[in-house]
């Protein structure tokens, strides 16, 4: 099952979509992520949010996951 994960920052980075995206449609965005706080292995979960209402994952949508390893 692996080692337990520790949440570092729930709201680490945000990027805007180019506009409204209809259900079933797709858009491609480029993210320039901030640096990680320290060397180690990280899992970045990318989720969409309706500001002030909900995160999509809270409503059953899958997040995109990106594994990142930072070396000293």
Q: Work out the pLDDT band at 1, boundaries 50, 70, 90.
A: low
- pLDDT of 70 > 70? The answer is yes
- Note the pTM of the prediction, 2 decimals: 0.73
Summarize pLDDT for 36-49 with one digit per residue, the tens. 888 988 899 999 99
**β-pair type (49-50, 54-55):** antiparallel
**Short-list 65, 60, 62, CA closest to 45:** 65
Q: Which helix (H) or strand (E) holds 44?
A: strand 40-46
**Tokens 């059953």, residue?**
60
């Amino acid at each position: 099952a692996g080692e337990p994960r520790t949440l570092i920052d729930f709201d680490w980075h945000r990027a805007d979509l180019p506009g409204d995206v209809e259900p079933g449609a797709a858009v491609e965005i480029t993210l320039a992520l901030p640096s990680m706080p320290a060397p180690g292995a990280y899992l970045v979960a990318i989720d969409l949010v309706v500001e002030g209402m909900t995160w999509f994952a809270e409503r059953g949508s899958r997040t995109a996951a990106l594994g990142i390893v930072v070396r000293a």
